[in-house]
Structures are given as C-alpha cells and as structure tokens.
C-alpha cells in the first residue's frame, strides 16, 4: 500500500540553525499538509498546499516557516532560524481528490537545543 514517507526520522539542531524536513507524499495525491505535535499535546495544523501554492496556513506558520514542492515528488518544510519551542514531531500528510482521509507520514522528531 502506498505511503507517505518522511526523512529524517529524528533531527537534532542548534537554536538559530535552519532545518529542512522532507516528505514524499503518495504519488497521485494532490493536497499536502504539514502538522506539528509538541510532546504530549494535540496535533496542530501548520499549512496546506495545493496546486503549487499555500492554500491555508495557521498562526503558527510565521515568516520563519516555508514550504516547497521543488519537484514532482518531494514536499519540504523549512524552518529558517529554529527556536527551542520548535521542538516537536512534524507530520507530513497528503490526500487525493474529493473528501478522502489524510494519510500521514511517520513524522520527523525535531529537537532544538
């Protein structure tokens, strides 16, 4: 069964450094998402992406964040200058046409020290 893949599974970075989290959505999916889950808390929406542009973003998704679909398969989340509070699990998700469930990757655990 096709799945969403995320790399790396765990990233440790120093405060102020840039990180890029990578995702390969399911190949025929059209809608892409990033979510964040701070340890022990609920899963929070960051951004949705469709037709090569951001369709919606949350208040969390400030100027430090950006997303890109550089080619036909990858979908990346960049955090320009990481802060301690960016430490969380970041989930990529994709879905197909119509009302279909979001399929999530296994997540990237980001630790900012």
User: Cα separation of 94 and 113, whole Å?
Assistant: 30
Q: CA of 19: how far to CAs of 55, 64, 66, in Å?
A: 23, 11, 11
For other proteins, the closer of residues 7 and 81 by Cβ is 7
Question: For other proteins, what does the binding mask look like between residues 2 and 41, x meaning CB under 8 A?
Answer: -----------------------------x-x-x-----x
Structure tokens given for 11: 């990233």
- Judged by the rule CB under 8 A, the positions of this chain that interact with other proteins are 31, 33, 35, 41-45, 48, 50, 55-56, 89, 91, 93, 95, 99, 101-107, 109
């Amino acid at each position: 069964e096709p799945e969403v893949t995320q790399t790396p599974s765990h990233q440790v970075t120093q405060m102020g450094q840039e990180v890029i989290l990578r995702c390969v959505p399911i190949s025929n999916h059209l809608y892409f998402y990033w979510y964040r889950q701070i340890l022990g808390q609920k899963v929070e929406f960051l951004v949705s992406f469709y037709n090569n542009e951001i369709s919606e973003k949350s208040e969390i998704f400030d100027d430090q964040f950006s997303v890109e679909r550089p080619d036909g398969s990858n979908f990346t989340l960049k955090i320009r200058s990481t802060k301690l509070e960016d430490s969380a699990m970041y989930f990529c998700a994709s879905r197909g046409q119509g009302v279909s469930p979001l399929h999530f990757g296994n997540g990237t655990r980001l630790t900012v020290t």
